[in-house]
Chain A
Amino acid sequence: QQQVKQSPQSLIVQKGGISIINCAYENTAFDYFPWYQQFPGKGPALLIAIRPDVSEKKEGRFTISFNKSAKQFSLHIMDSQPGDSATYFCAAYLATGNTPLVFGKGTRLSVIA
């Protein structure tokens, strides 16, 4: 019940296309859903996050879509660029649990020209 399932494991997108990464969770008590971006040789860094009381959050070319009833959320990268090539992790947070973030297994995105 503490798992976050992320798909796909890897993704290749043409420059200018839309990259979509999906995550699903079971625990309805999760109340914050961040996405982390990791470039090769670096540690992950917070990219964007959403709370379950909103259905969408947009920051520049990055959008999180959240479907509370389906217990799913997704990251959309519009106009994907080669500089977006990285590994992306979704995660879920339980405010009342005093427990670490639960991470998905990651998606390696390659944007090709």
Chain B
Amino acid sequence: IAGITQAPTSQILAAGRRMTLRCTQDMRHNAMYWYRQDLGLGLRLIHYSNTAGTTGKGEVPDGYSVSRANTDDFPLTLASAVPSQTSVYFCASSERTGFGYTFGSGTRLTVV
């Protein structure tokens, strides 16, 4: 089934540790996105990529980095996790930027 795969599904991480959340899509979509979702704050954009080889900063990029080496993969890295990064992280993709999103099922990350 075509779609987005996120891994891991959930993770408990010690503060200060490095963590990479994985996102892979098989729809050959050009654009990909990372959001975090916190109660009452909705979906906040962390980073995005309009096409392979390009990335852009969203609303809350600090403490996160991304790369887009190919069309299918868009990993999100927390270089040194802090408790405020406890959240549910969603990866999404679309054929063109901003239009027709498909979301993954999310990664629930707890930083302790």
Contact = CB atoms under 8 A, between A and B. Distances in A.
Interface string B60-77: 000000000000000000
A97 B56 CA distance: 13
A25 B97 CA distance: 20
A99 B40 contact: no
Interface in A71-108: 89, 93-95, 97-101, 103-106
12 contacts: A42-B105, A43-B104, A44-B103, A89-B42, A98-B98, A100-B31, A100-B48, A100-B98, A101-B98, A101-B99, A104-B42, A106-B42
Interface of A: 6, 9, 32, 36, 41-46, 89, 93-95, 97-101, 103-106
B58 A100 contact: yes
A24 to B, nearest CB: 15
A46 B104 CA distance: 12
A106 B31 CA distance: 23
B45 to A, nearest CB: 6
Contacts of B99: 32, 93, 95, 101
B92 interface: yes
Contacts of B33: 100
B101 A101 contact: yes
Nearest to A92: B98
